[in-house]
């Protein structure tokens, strides 16, 4: 036995490596830097437009000139990748989403403008029908209220080619239709666009955390006869994990270059499972609901925004995400610069 004044003889004392910030920094296992982040941006027509999104404090729908200015600011802070989402006037939306195939649509013009003014930027485009669909779905809706898989995939493959020709570095199918990665890869290769990468939303769950995003993009399913009121027939069931492995193996076999897990924090286990099964880079989407919760709690004085946002993003990287889509990219980059 030891006496009260005699130190306990412990062979291992993990606290030795926690004694100072210098030591903690030396042994830190996960390091998060701005160049691993992707900033999602919502684009609208016009000039000088900045429309704050109530449910996403600090983020806004912006016209192309303001979007380009934000890209330039982000790149100065070390954030060099941008995911573009067009917020279209309802007059351009149709059941078949045909505006998505217009090579002069808002998204294509934005891609071209950003690549012209910020040549070092990586521009990622969303490949799905919901921004263009009058039904609010990621796919074509039949008269019987069924989301048509193969017909949708045909449109998505054409859309990916349109985006790549506009200058997109990566196309990101977010629709969760079966077989779309292979179809997109084939269409890109046939169009001699072999350098365009596919960042596939591999495990995209039918999550309740997307609410603020759908407000920003006006992309929720419409309340109309024969239109499904949710996206559960194509997005994954939140209760399923093994299914994500099936999706990952399919996407890898079809030619995906990067795999996405969405949302992020509620699905850390899915990121870990995919990291154990594939050598491809893995992306995680820190979605609008996750972002909004921290912002709202911080505004009420309940949480430290910087500490909680940084901890959340670090958790995604710790789980195995190489790339993180987050609306807090600029905030984090500023904090990182101040350290």
Name, in order, each residue with C-beta under 8 angstroms of 28's C-beta and a sequence gap of 6 or more. none
- Which of 167, 95, 103, 169 has its CA nearest to residue 133? 95
Helices (H), 267-304: 268-277, 288-299
Provide the pLDDT for residue 299. 97
* pLDDT band for position 4 (cuts 50, 70, 90): low
**Is residue 134 exposed (0-12), middle (13-18) or buried (19+ Cβ within 10 Å)?**
middle
Q: What is the pLDDT of residue 3?
A: 60
Of 13-22, 66-75, 238-247, 298-307, the range with the lowest mean pLDDT is 13-22
Rounded to an integer, what distance in angstroms lies between the CA atom of residue 158 and that of residue 19? 57
Nearest to 111 by CA among 162, 154, 187, 47: 162
Whether the pLDDT of residue 9 is over 90: the answer is: no
Q: At what angle do helices 268-277 and 242-254 cross, to 10 degrees?
A: 50
Mean pLDDT computed over 14-35: 93
Q: Tell me the pLDDT tens digit for each residue of 275-321.
A: 999 999 999 999 999 999 999 999 999 999 999 999 999 999 999 99
Give dist(CA 216, CA 337) in Å, integer.
29
Residue 2 has pLDDT above 60, yes or no: no
Q: Is the four-CA dihedral 117, 37, 212, 90 of positive or negative sign?
A: positive
| Residues recognised as catalytic | 204, 262
**Structure tokens, 191:** 């169009």
Domains, the chain, with CATH or none: 32-338 (3.20.20.70)
Residue 1 has pLDDT above 60, yes or no: no
**pLDDT at residue 232 greater than cutoff 80:** yes
Q: Report helix, strand and coil shares of the chain as percent, to nearest 5.
A: 45, 20, 40
Q: Spell out where 92-241 has E strands.
A: 122-127, 140-141, 147-148, 170-173, 197-204
Task: Decide the pairing of beta strands 282-286 and 147-148.
Answer: unpaired
- Share above pLDDT 70 across residues of the chain, in percent, rounded to a whole number: 99
Gap between the Cα atoms of 84 and 234, Å rounded: 22
Q: Give the integer Cα–Cα distance in Å for 274 and 19.
A: 34
Question: Mean pLDDT, to the nearest integer, of 142-150?
Answer: 95
**Number of neighbouring beta carbons within 10 Å of residue 78:** 16
């Amino acid at each position: 036995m030891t006496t009260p004044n005699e130190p306990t003889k412990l062979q291992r004392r993990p606290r030795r490596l926690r004694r100072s910030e210098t030591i903690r920094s030396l042994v830190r296992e996960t390091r998060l830097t701005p160049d691993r982040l992707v900033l999602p941006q919502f684009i609208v027509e016009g000039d000088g437009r900045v429309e704050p999104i109530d449910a996403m404090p600090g983020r806004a729908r912006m016209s192309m000139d303001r979007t380009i200015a934000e890209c330039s600011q982000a790149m100065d802070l070390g954030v060099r990748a941008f995911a573009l989402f067009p917020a279209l006037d309802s007059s351009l939306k149709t059941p078949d989403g045909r505006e998505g195939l217009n090579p002069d649509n808002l998204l294509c013009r934005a891609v071209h403008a950003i690549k012209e003014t910020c040549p070092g930027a990586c521009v990622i485009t969303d490949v799905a029908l919901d921004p263009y669909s009058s039904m609010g779905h990621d796919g074509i809706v039949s008269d019987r209220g069924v989301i048509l898989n193969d017909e949708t995939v045909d449109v998505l493959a054409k859309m990916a080619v349109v985006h790549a020709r506009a200058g997109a570095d990566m196309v990101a199918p977010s629709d969760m239709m079966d077989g779309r990665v292979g179809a997109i890869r084939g269409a890109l290769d046939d169009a001699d666009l072999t350098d365009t990468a596919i960042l596939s939303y591999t495990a995209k769950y039918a999550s309740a955390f997307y609410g603020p995003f759908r407000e920003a993009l006006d992309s929720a399913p419409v309340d109309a006869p024969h239109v499904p009121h949710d996206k559960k027939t194509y997005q994954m069931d939140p209760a399923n994990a093994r299914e994500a492995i099936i999706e990952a193996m399919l996407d890898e076999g079809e030619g995906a270059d990067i795999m996405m897990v969405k949302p992020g924090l509620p699905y850390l286990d899915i990121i870990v499972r995919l990291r154990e099964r594939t050598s491809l880079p893995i992306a995680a989407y820190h979605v609008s609901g996750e972002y909004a919760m921290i912002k709202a709690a911080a505004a009420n004085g309940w949480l430290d925004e910087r500490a909680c946002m940084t901890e959340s993003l670090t958790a995604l990287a710790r789980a195995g995400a190489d790339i993180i889509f987050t609306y807090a990219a600029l905030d984090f980059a500023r904090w990182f610069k101040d350290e």
